[in-house]
Amino acid sequence: MLSELSASVRQYLLITANYWAFTLTDGALRMLVVLHFHQLGYNPLQVAMLFLFYEIFGVVTNLFGGYLGARIGLNRTMNLGLGLQVAALLMLTVPAALLSVPWVMAAQALSGIAKDLNKMSAKSSLKLLIPDGAHAQLYRWVSLLTGSKNALKGVGFFLGAALLMTLQFRGAVLAMGVVLLGVWLGSVVYLRRDLGKATGKPKFRDIFSKSRAINLLSAARLFLFGARDVWFVVALPVFLSEVLGWSFWWVGGFMALWVIGYGGIQSLAPRITGMRRGRIPDGRSAALWAVALSVVPGLIALALAHGYAPMPVVVGGLLVFGALFAVNSAIHSFLIIFYAQADGVSLDVGFYYMANALGRLLGTVLSGLIYQMAGLVPCLWTSAAFVGLAAVISLALPRRESAGLDPPLTVDGD
C-alpha cells in the first residue's frame, strides 16, 4: 500500500514517524526527570532548573542547525538529532550513585540539541515536499505535523509516568533508548539523501536571516512563546501545588491533558481560521489572533486580584489560553515555512526557531523569578504584555496581497 503513494508523501510519512517517535521520548523523559527528582526531595523550582541547559542549547542549536542542514542536508540533521537523543537516554542509565545533577543537566543539554535538530529538520522538509503555490496543502500539513507533535508530547508525559512505575527510572530510559535506536536505523536507511541541501555552499554569516518578514515573524515568535512559558513552566505548577493544594500527580496529569488538547486544536487550526472558504493566514491574521490571546492572561490576573475563586479562574482561563495559543502557534508555523526560501530552507527556519527557543528560555527564567518574588498575577501581566508586543510586531508582517496569497485559494484536491 505504501508503494502506491507518491515519493513526497512517503517521505512526509517517514519524517512524521521520526518526529512522533522522538516527541514521545522527549515528553516521557521530561516527566521521568520531573517525577524522579521530585521523589528525591527536589522542589519544583530546583527541578525546573534541571532543564535550563535544555533551553539554552535549544537557542544555539537552532541558530547553527539551520546552517548545518543547508550544508549537509536535512536527512543528516534529522538522523543526528535522533542519534543524540539515544545518547542522552543512555547517559541516564548509569547507576543511581552517578546520577548527579550536573550529569542530568548535561544529558538534558544533549536532549535539547537533539530536539531542536529534529524539529528544524522536520519543519523545513515540508517546504521541499509540497509543490509551489499549494498554500492550503502546506498550511494543513504544517498544522497536522505540529499539532500531532504537541499532542504526542502530552501522551509522552503519561508514558513517562507509566514507565517509571513499571520499569523504574533506569529501566524506563533504557527501554526508550532501545526503541528509538530502531527508529534511527530505519531513518538512516530510508530518508532521502539530498533533502534540503542547498545548491550552493552557504556562508556562516547566512545563519542570520536577511528577510524582513522572517525577522519580524521571529521577533513575534520570541514574545509569543515567552508569554506562554512565563506563567506555564514554573509559576503554574507551583501555584496549583502550593495554593490549590493539588498533588504532584494531579498537576502533571492536568498539564499533560492540556498539552494533548492544545495539540489537537493546533491540528484543526486550518478549519478554525477558515481554510475551507479559501482563507490562508497572513500577517493581519497573526496580529488579530495575538490581540485575542493577549486579553486572556489579563482577565485571569484581574479576576485573581479581585478575589474570585482561583481554581475555576486559573483552570478555565488556561483552557481558553491554550485554545487561542494553539491557533496563534499554527499560524506562525505556516508563515515561517511560507516565507522561507526553498533553497537552503533550514537557514530561515533555524533562525526562526532560534527566536522560539530564546522566548522559551526567557519565559522559563522569568517564570521562576517573578513567581518567587511576586506570585502568579505579575506573571500573568507579563504574559499579556508579551503577547501584546507579538501583536504589534505582527502588524508589520506582509498582508495577503504582498505575501502572494491572492487570489483566494481553493482547497479541493489538496
Q: How confident is the model at residue 152 (pLDDT cuts 50, 70, 90)?
A: confident
DSSP structural state of residue 205 = G
Please answer whether residues 398 and 213 qualify as being in contact, where contact means their C-beta atoms are separated by less than 8 angstroms. Answer: yes
Of residues 291 and 10, the one with the higher pLDDT is 291
3-state SS assignment for residue 50: coil
**Percent of the chain residues past pLDDT 90, beyond the cut:** 36
Which among 9, 33, 29 has a CA at the least distance from the CA of 21? Answer: 29
Reading the block at residue 91, the C-alpha cell is 547517559
Reference 326, options 364, 269, 280, 284; nearest CA is 269
Amino acid at 319: L
| Cβ neighbours, 10 Å, residue 345 | 25
pLDDT attached to residue 71: 76
Encode 123-137: b = buried (16+ Cβ within 10 Å), e = exposed.
bbbbbbbbeeeebbb
Q: Which of 220-224, 233-237, 356-360 has the lowest mean pLDDT?
A: 233-237
Query: In the prediction, which pLDDT does 59 show?
Result: 82
Q: Nearest-CA neighbor of 268 among 155, 133, 146, 121? A: 146
What is the phi/psi pair of residue 342, to 5°?
-65, -40
Most confident of 81-90, 144-153, 230-239, 245-254: 81-90
For range 126-137, the mean pLDDT: 76
The 10 Å CB-count burial string (b at 16+, else e) for 361-400 is bbbbbbbbebbeeeebbbbbbbbbbbbbbbbbbbbebbeb
Tell me if residue 390 falls in helix, strand or coil.
helix
Q: What are the cell numbers at 2?
A: 505504501
Concatenated DSSP letters of 391-404: HHHHTTS--TTTTT
Q: What's residue 406's pLDDT? A: 46
Q: What share of the chain is helix, strand, coil (3-state, %, to 5)?
A: 80, 0, 20
- What is the residue type of 408? P
Do the Cβ atoms of 324 and 293 come closer than 8 Å? yes
Q: What's the rounded mean pLDDT across residues 112-135?
A: 80
Q: Flag whether pLDDT at 202 surpasses 60.
A: no
Q: Report angle CA 278, 296, 149 to the nearest 5 degrees.
A: 55
Question: Average pLDDT of the chain?
Answer: 84
Cβ burial, residue 100 (10 Å; 0-12/13-18/19+): exposed
Each residue of 52-82: pLDDT tens digit?
A: 888 788 888 877 777 777 777 778 888 899 9
CA distance 239 to 219: 29
Quote the pLDDT of residue 325: 96
CA 310 – CA 234 distance, rounded (Å): 17
Average pLDDT over residues 236-242: 85
Q: In whole angstroms, what is the distance from residue 246 CA to residue 232 CA?
A: 16
Which pLDDT band holds residue 34 (cuts at 50, 70, 90)? confident
Q: Is residue 407 predicted with pLDDT exceeding 50? A: no
Q: How confident is the model at residue 396 (pLDDT cuts 50, 70, 90)?
A: very high
Average pLDDT of 155-181? 90
- Sorted by where each begins, the domain ranges of the chain are 2-394
pLDDT of 134 strictly over 80 = no
What's the CATH class of domain 2-394? Answer: mainly alpha
DSSP state of 410: P
Count of other CB atoms within 10 angstroms of residue 114: 27
Query: For position 228, what pLDDT does the model report?
Result: 95
Q: Which comes out higher in pLDDT, residue 5 or 187? A: 187
Mean pLDDT score, 383-401: 91
Higher pLDDT, 194 or 19: 19
Question: Looking at residue 197, what is its pLDDT?
Answer: 58
Question: Would you say 143 and 47 are in contact if contact means Cβ atoms under 8 Å apart?
Answer: no
Report pLDDT for 413: 29
Which of the listed ranges 35-44, 101-110, 363-372, 380-389 does the model predict with the highest average pLDDT?
A: 380-389
List C-alpha distances in Å: 398 to 126, 338, 348: 21, 11, 16
With beta carbons less than 8 A apart as the criterion, state whether 354 and 59 touch: yes
Of 367, 23, 51, nearest in space to 229 by CA: 367
Confidence band for 412, pLDDT divided at 50, 70 and 90: very low
Q: d(Cα 88, Cα 94) in Å, to the nearest integer?
A: 11
Stretch among 156-165, 214-223, 225-234 having the lowest mean pLDDT: 156-165
Show the cell assigned to 201.
555552499
Predicted confidence (pLDDT) at residue 40 exceeds the cutoff of 90? no
pTM of the predicted structure, to 2 decimals: 0.81
At 352, phi and psi to the nearest 5?
A: -65, -45
Q: What is the mean pLDDT of residues 206-228?
A: 85
Q: Can you give the pLDDT at residue 346?
A: 67
301-349: pLDDT as tens digits: 999 999 999 999 999 999 999 999 999 999 999 999 888 876 656 677 8
In 3D space, the residue among 55, 343, 295 whose CA is nearest the CA of residue 197 turns out to be 343
Over residues 374-395, the mean pLDDT reads: 96
Q: Which of these ranges, 100-114, 181-195, 201-215, has the smallest mean pLDDT? A: 201-215
